[in-house]
């Protein structure tokens, strides 16, 4: 049912891929750097699980769902980089990218942030 919810959210909130559902994130001062983002994209963070998943994403265009969550949380919580950067990269690199599901799941990566 979460897929249906993602499609409904995109229908109800057409800016879902570019604007946070939770407005306070739009003004958040993300402290992550471009260098950190690039290392995350290349699978060179120094964290083996994240690095393996990100390298798999680049090499084959896919990674298991659980690892998508791990990599998303790492980007948002540990590197303090906006979910939008992760959304853009996954949308570019995933062969099974779906804008509704991708945007919905990246937005849910912010839940732990206050």
The whole-number average pLDDT for the span 4-14 is: 95
Question: The whole model's pTM is what?
Answer: 0.89
Q: 55-91: string of b/e by CB count within 10 Å (b at 16+)?
A: eebeeeeebeeebbebbbbbbbeebebbbbbbbbbbe
pLDDT band for 114, please (50, 70, 90 cuts).
very low
Q: Tell me the pLDDT tens digit for each residue of 23-32.
A: 888 888 999 9
Regarding predicted confidence, which is higher, 18 or 112?
Answer: 18
Question: The tokens of 81 are what?
Answer: 């980089």
Mean pLDDT estimate for the chain: 92
Assign 48 to helix, strand or coil: helix
Regarding predicted confidence, which is higher, 26 or 11?
Answer: 11
Regarding predicted confidence, which is higher, 24 or 43?
Answer: 43
What pLDDT, on the 0 to 100 scale, is given for residue 21?
A: 87
Q: Tell me the pLDDT tens digit for each residue of 75-95.
A: 999 999 999 999 999 999 999
């Amino acid at each position: 049912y979460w897929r249906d919810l993602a499609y409904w959210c995109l229908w109800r909130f057409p800016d879902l891929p570019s604007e946070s559902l939770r407005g306070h994130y739009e003004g958040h001062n993300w402290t992550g750097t471009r260098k950190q983002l690039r290392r995350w994209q290349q699978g060179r963070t120094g964290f083996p699980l994240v690095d393996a998943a990100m390298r798999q994403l680049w090499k084959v265009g896919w990674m298991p769902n659980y690892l998508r969550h791990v990599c998303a949380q790492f980007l948002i919580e540990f590197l303090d980089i906006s979910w939008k950067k992760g959304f853009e990269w996954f949308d570019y690199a995933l062969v099974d990218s779906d804008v509704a599901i991708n945007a919905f799941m990246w937005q849910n990566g912010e839940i732990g942030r206050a």
